Amino acid sequence: MLTIKNLQANVEGKPILKGLDLEIKPGEVHAIMGPNGSGKSTLGHVLAGRPGYEITGGSIFFKGENLIEMETEQRARNGLFLAFQYPVEIPGVSNMEFLKASVDALQEHKGEQPMDSVSFLRQAREMYKQVDLDPGFLKRGVNEGFSGGEKKRNELIQMLMLQPALAILDETDSGLDIDALQVVAEAVNSLRSCERSIVMITHYQRLLDYIKPDFVHVLSDGKIVRSGDKSLALELEEKGYGWISEVE
Ligand code: ADP
Ligand code: MG
Ligand code: MG
């Protein structure tokens, strides 16, 4: 699904990713943890192709193709999805318009007919109910005036509608209460399949009680410094990140 080798990237001319390696196979769920400012969100943005993130070395292959050469839209069409740590507001564009345009673009890419409006609406309303948001949100501007938790859930709806091959969730759990966390976990778990891979960037091991990762990685100063299974997350919670650098 995704093979990253020795990835180096700059933000505003400053090196942030400093030789990152990561291999993700179809069906796997990976958690990426690490201290603030270690480059977790940068990795997400680099993968999604956000402008301003300059790759200075290494390689990224997504479903066998060179990701670095792909435009942002092409990455999305090929099935890469990033749920932002800080979801953007798009005033004046309703969730309904936004979702329909996204789904239509994907259908077109696959050479299929656009979804008819009735089926689309039925499906979209279902998704809103699934993440415990009122379907009335469909008429509101994308994330416009939404609370933190509502934005995170709105991002999940986009993910559920688009059914990406590779979903990257950047701190989708932060700022959520325990009920909202379970809603998020259920939505993510409903997407788990042998053909899909999920990357969860998170500060807290709490989310991993509900979404069991196959692998846990620690990102520190732009590199993955340790990988393990779920027990690594528990160990981090107990001992903090300082422990990793001490034993390096
Ligand atoms: P994390 O998500 O692990 O907390 P980030 O990837 O957001 O870390 O940030 C890594 C480093 O890159 C930080 O030092 C941050 O200040 C810097 N950085 C990220 N985005 C920008 C930006 N747009 N302009 C300048 N510096 C940035
Ligand atoms: Mg952070
Ligand atoms: Mg971040």
Mean pLDDT per 10-residue interval, the chain, length 248 residues: 98 96 98 94 95 96 96 91 89 93 89 91 93 93 91 91 94 85 91 96 89 96 95 89 67
Number of H helices, E strands in the chain: 8, 12
- For residue 181, the Cα-to-chain-centroid distance in whole angstroms is 15
Domains and CATH numbers, the chain: 29-38+76-247 (3.40.50.300)
> Which pLDDT value is given to residue 81?
93
- In ligand 1, the atom with minimum distance to the C-alpha of 219 is 3
Spatial distance between the Cα atoms of 26 and 142, rounded to a whole number of angstroms: 31
Question: What amino acid occupies position 117?
Answer: S
Does residue 13 have its Cβ closer than 6 Å to ligand 1? no
Q: Is the CB of 36 under 6 A from ligand 1?
A: yes
For residue 47, which amino acid is it?
Answer: L
Asked whether 25 and 1 are in contact (CB, 8 A), the reply is: yes
Mutate to test the pocket of ligand 1, among 7, 8, 11, 220 (most ligand atoms within 8 A of CB): 11
- Which pLDDT score, from 0 to 100, does residue 63 have? 96
The strand pairing partners of 170, in sequence order, are 201
208 ligand 1 Cβ < 6 A = no
CA angle, corner 165, sides to 186 and 183, nearest 5?
Answer: 10
